[in-house]
Every structure is written in structure tokens, then in C-alpha cells.
Amino acid sequence: MSLFCCPVCGQPLSRTGKTYRCPDRHSFDQAREGYVHLLPANRKHSRDPGDDKGMAAARNRFLSGEWYAPLRRTLEELALACPEEAPAILDSGCGEGYYTQGIACRLEEAGRKPRVAGIDLSRASLRYAARRLPQGEFAVASAYHLPVGDERIDLLVNCFSPLALEEFSRVLKPGGRFLYVVPGPEHLWELKQVLYEKPYRNREIREDYPGFTWLEARQVRETVTLPDRQTIDDLFHMTPYYWKTPAAGAQRMRELEALTVQIAFDVHVYRRAPE
């Protein structure tokens, strides 16, 4: 049985070969790249939503360079704290699957048997995710309409992706964990100094959400040196700055030969409150 449910009727999906089918005979074929499309046409806000091919490729190159490995290791450690022998894990906004792969492989190395699924709007990104983790399930879907049944998930991961709290609460089991990754105050500060005349630091806040209990926050702080223009440009393309940087700032960035920059993440751990 799949971790996904039918986006039409909400019933469980079973998987036979490359086809997902529900009891009402709604069926969905897996693309040859390894993902399934579970986003109904009436919930699409554009023809091809999410990151395009260029952005997905930039993210894949950058993350494959292990520049954000400290964050991945932190997520892996928090996933290991999940008490279930075979936890059901959902990465909401999984992108190209770098963190999804890390969590799944770390649990498997520890002798656990995780069931892992990821959703994203970007087909281009999911091609990489399915390649990284062939044993996982990946679907084109919206975080605001997760194709997952009620109380099916033990651990939900959200890394720089839409915060769909009602859906997260619905799919998590009572007591299930939710890992929420946000940028720290100094995240990419040196890059922002290049891009903007008056850069600003990110706010450092802890939010309390209805239906969830905040447990802790893990801080990830490192300084890395990006050695060439390609790596700097890849980082730029995977940030929101790509959409809102003035032309002069983008030109200054393109002139850089290398960049030493801080990476700063806060991983907030929440537990879904019991019924």
C-alpha cells in the first residue's frame, strides 16, 4: 500500500508496477523519471508550477557539493529520534530530494525500515529526487492539499517550503514529529551584502502553532567558501533573491571569483498534540 491517497476521492492508493490505483478505480501512472502526478488540474495555478529545469539543476548541483551537509546531518539526527521501527516519513516540498535521501539512508544504516514519500510542485525537481532515492515515493502535489490520508505520518519534514499547518496536523499521527527549517538571522549574510545596498538580517522567532507542541530548536551555523562563479550562481538561483535582486546587485555577484559566506539554519521540532 502506498503512503499516498487518491487526490480525487481520498481513498488509499495501492501500487502495482508503475500504476497507482484506488478502490474507485481512479488510476495514476508513474512517469518514467520515477514520480507520479497527483495534482488535479483545478489546483494548478500555472501550466508547469514550481522550480523550472534551470533552477532544479542549480539546486541539485549546489546540494550535491555538500555545502548544506551540516543541515542534512542535523535532520538525520532528529529523524533517528523517531521511536518507530518503520516510521512513515513525508518531506513536504522535498525539491530534488537531498534531505529526503539523507534521512532515509541514515535510518536504513541504523537498521530501521522507513517508508518515505516526498511531494513538490516541480516536476523538474522530482526527477532528481526519484533518482536519488529509488525506494521512495514522489509525487507532484500541493502542500495545501496533501495526497496523504489522515494520521498516516510519523515524521513530517518542511525545509524552506510552504507552511500548511492544517494539512500537516491532519496527516500526522498524534504524537508525530514535525521538523520545520527556517533561515537563521545571518544566513547568507555576505551574499546579501553583495546583492543589496541595504541588506537585512532574518528575524529570529519561535512560533507556537495550534495543535502542536514546540519541543526544541537546533541551530546549524557554519562558514563555507564557495570556490567559483558556477557554485555562487547555483546558490543564487536556489534562493528567493533570484526573483528580487536589482540588476546592479546581480552584476556585482557575477563578478565574484569566490565567496566566503555564513550558512545559518534553525530547525524547530514540534510534536502533534494527542487527540
pTM of the model: 0.94
Cβ(154)–Cβ(177) below 8 Å:
yes
pLDDT per position as a tens digit, 116-145:
999 999 999 999 999 999 999 999 999 999
**Domain tally for the chain?**
1
Q: Please determine, for residue 44, whether its predicted confidence score (pLDDT) is greater than 60.
A: no
Q: Which pLDDT value is given to residue 48?
A: 61
**Does any domain span residue 6?**
no
Place of cell 518531506: 91
CB atoms within 10 A of CB 203: 8
Can you read off the three cell numbers belonging to residue 51?
522550480
Q: Which pLDDT value is given to residue 54?
A: 93
Of the two residues 171 and 46, the one the predictor is more confident about is 171
Owning domain of residue 59:
14-272
Place of cell 537585512: 200
Q: Please determine, for residue 45, whether its predicted confidence score (pLDDT) is greater than 80.
A: no
Q: Which pLDDT value is given to residue 274?
A: 83
Cβ(269)–Cβ(207) below 8 Å:
no
**CA–CA distance from 173 to each of 14, 124, 213 (Å)?**
21, 30, 14
**Does any domain span residue 8?**
no
Cβ(35)–Cβ(128) below 8 Å:
no
**Does any domain span residue 5?**
no
Mean pLDDT, range 170-198, rounded to an integer: 96
Rg (CA), the chain: 19
CATH number at residue 75: 3.40.50.150
**Does any domain span residue 94?**
yes
Q: Which pLDDT value is given to residue 147?
A: 97
Mean pLDDT, range 171-180, rounded to an integer: 97
**Does any domain span residue 173?**
yes
**Does any domain span residue 9?**
no
**Window from 47-51, 94-98, 241-245, 255-259 with minimum mean pLDDT:** 47-51
**Does any domain span residue 3?**
no
**Does any domain span residue 4?**
no
Of the two residues 22 and 48, the one the predictor is more confident about is 22
Q: Please determine, for residue 213, whether its predicted confidence score (pLDDT) is greater than 60.
A: yes
Q: Which pLDDT value is given to residue 47?
A: 62
Mean pLDDT, range 224-239, rounded to an integer: 96
